[in-house]
Structure 1
């Protein structure tokens, strides 16, 4: 979409997405976002009451695209349920090999806000993680797994643990290993 036809609010949110994801939420100022969006600082505050509200909006804007991407990878994968779950991890590992990949924006934001559990972005991030877990649980239930909620939680733990480990070691193979563990968990679950 040409820059001129996009609203100031969408330009601000796009700039926040790029800067917060690449540099972190605490490292990025409202001035930097305004400059990147081509607006004034006053315009940023016209559309968002505070930086905290903009951080929450940044995460909220990533929620459905991320879940949709996971669902797409699952649907495009061939084979039984366990291989389709592993495919999500394989695709994440492929993404992690891109030089601009910085990990899970939800987890990185949570790490920066760990001392602020009531922050609006923490609520958005928690809701995102719960939506993904609920989707997994529904999928496992539809495939006849006896304890779909427990299995979904195990897969989420593998995924989030792998995200963290890849950031520490800068090695996407941890996502692939987590995918194999998820596949085994799904395969062995009654």
Structure 2
């Protein structure tokens, strides 16, 4: 793709991201995205076959940046593994307290498409959540935690649950409560690791 065409595609996705996140995918028309991007509707359809493809591109564009943000929050938090997991929730609670926060874009989009399970954006949302699980599971594996897959899934459920309740109540206390529970789960898993016989931790890491 020529550089100018690539730049135009990025501009369209950026415009769609702002509109879809602020107003919802159902409320935003292709015409509105084209106008905000400063392109014609014909140009938009040159880059995207339709609105469904554009919605999927919107979520795909947020996948890696969102994972990078969680990784940065995790790295910036000092302390034990449990402290770092609590830090993810604390940082998320701060971000979700911003007046412009409108919830998790992945969850909101998939909710709007609940009657279309085969929609490409639903698949993009599912892929993002799975990548988050795998990222957490990899961290737990590095710390020799056996039940890392289950633990990563539990943490993801707590985080997504916190995001949903935060959207309803706009009260970061719910995020903190979820983070405290997540930390407790990690501490319990770490204790189980500590109770294993010598050499078991190394074997668990090698088998991951």
TM normalised by structure 1 equals 0.95
Between the aligned partners of 1:129 and 1:176, the Cα distance in structure 2 is 21
Q: Aligned partners of 1:183, 1:115: CA distance in 2, in Å?
A: 35
Unaligned runs of 5+ in 2: 193-208
What SS does the corresponding residue of 1:7 show, helix, strand or coil? helix
| 2:171 pairs with 1:184 | no
| Aligned positions, number | 187
Between the aligned partners of 2:110 and 2:10, the Cα distance in structure 1 is: 24
Separation of aligned partners in 1, 2:26 and 2:132: 26
Which runs of no fewer than 5 residues in structure 1 stay unpaired? none
Which residue is equivalent to 1:80? 80
Distance 1:53 1:181 in 2: 38
Equivalence for 2:197: none
**CA separation in 2, counterparts of 1:156 and 1:84?**
14
What does 1:36-185 align with in structure 2 at a 5 Å threshold?
Answer: 36-185=36-185
**Superposed CA offset, 1:80-136 (max 9, x none):** 000001101100000011111011100000100001000000000000000000011
Would you identify which runs of 4 or more consecutive aligned residues in structure 1 move more than 4 Å? none
- TM (norm. structure 2) is 0.87
1:15 is paired with a residue whose SS is helix
Larger-gyration structure (1/2): 2
- Provide the C-alpha distance between the structure 2 equivalents of 1:80 and 1:163, rounded to a whole number of angstroms: 24
Aligned-residue offset at 1:172: 2.1
CA distance in 2: counterparts of 1:113 and 1:76, whole angstroms: 35
Distance 2:85 2:28 in 1: 35
Distance 1:93 1:163 in 2: 9
CA distance in 2, matches of 1:173, 1:107: 20
In the alignment, the residues of structure 2 paired with residue 80 and residue 152 of structure 1 have an alpha-carbon distance, to the nearest angstrom, of 16
